Amino acid sequence: MIKRLVFFVIAAFLIIGCSPQTSIPANSPPTPSGGWGVTVTENPATEVPLQQAPVSGDECGNPYYPLKSGAQWTYTGPEGAFTHTISSSGGGIFTILVESGANTFNIQALCMEGGDINLLQVPGNSLSYSGEAGSSTMTTTSNEGVTLPGDIQVGDDWSQTLGVEVSAGDQRMDFTLDSTYTAVGYENVSVPAGTFNALKIEQSTSMGGPEPMIQTLWYVQEVGMVKSEIDIGELVVQELVSYNIP
C-alpha cells in the first residue's frame, strides 16, 4: 500500500502539474522497471512575450503562477476533471488543494524573495493525501533549491532536492526527490480553455531509481499551467479547461 501512496504523492508533487492517478495497481513500485519515457507534441517556437504586470493583489509576483487566495484552475485528464485551488495564509504562505473525484491533496508552499515559488520549502511542511487509496502524508526533512523561479528566461536551468518521509498508517518510508528543470522555449498551445503562447518547461524527477520520471509542462504568464504531458506506460495529457483568478 505505501508504494502506491508514494507514487501518488510524487505524481502530485510534479510542479503541481499532475492530478492523482487512480489506475495504478495497488502493488506497483514507484517506477516501472523499464524506466520512464515521455512523448511530447512539438509546436513551432514563438516569440518571447512581453513581461506582464502581476495580477492585482498577487502576493508573490511570479508571472507564471498567480498567487491569490481563491484562485482556481480546472483541468481535464484521463481520469476526468480535477481542480487546483489556492488558499493563502498571508506573508507568501499558501496551500494548494488538488481535488480529483474522491482523491484530495493538500500541498504546503511558500513564495520567496524575487517571486520564487517553493513547494514544501521548510522542513516540517507536508503534502497530505486522502481518497480511494486510503491516506498518507509526505513531510519534508530537508530542502535545497527552488520549484518555480520568479524570473525565468529561455535556456534557464534550476533544481530542487527534497528529503522526505512518507507515512501511511504504521508504515514509513524515507527517500530523496531530485528534480531538475529546463525552460525550453515558447510554443503556441491549444487547450479547451483557449490558445496560448506558453513557456515549455521540461522536468526530470528521480527518487533513486534507474530512470527518472520526465514531465513536460506549459506555463502562461498571468494564467498558470495550461498543459502537462507524461508517459507512464501510456501518455497522460492534462489540459486546462477553465480558470478563475479573483
Closest CA to 217 of 192, 194, 241, 240: 240
Would you state the cell numbers that stand for residue 121, as one nine-digit string? 520549502
Nearest-angstrom CA–CA distance, 81 and 74: 7
Among residues 93, 98, 165, the alpha carbon closest in space to that of 136 is found at 165
pLDDT values of the chain reduced to their tens digit, one per residue, 246 residues: 444 445 555 555 544 444 444 332 223 323 222 232 222 333 444 555 444 443 445 678 889 988 888 999 999 988 789 899 999 887 788 888 888 888 888 888 888 888 898 877 666 677 777 877 678 787 888 888 888 999 999 999 999 898 888 887 788 888 888 889 999 999 999 999 999 999 999 998 887 766 788 889 999 999 999 999 987 767 889 999 999 998
Element housing 6 (H / E):
helix 2-13
Distance of CA 229 to the CA centre of its chain: 12
DSSP-assigned letters across all residues of 116-172: -EEET-SBTBEEEEEETTEEEEEEEEEEEE-SB-SS--TT-EEEEEEEEEEEETTEE
From CA 213, how far away is CA 38, in angstroms rounded?
9
Contacts of residue 111, Cβ cutoff 8 Å, sequence gap at least 6: 59, 60, 61, 62, 67, 92, 93, 94, 117
Tell me the CATH number at 37.
2.40.360
What is the pLDDT at residue 153?
A: 93
- DSSP conformational letter for 16: G
Domain of residue 82, residue span? 2-244
* Domains identified in the chain, total number: 1
Residues 6+ apart with CB under 8 A from 10: 30, 177, 205, 207, 213
Residue 74, pLDDT score: 95
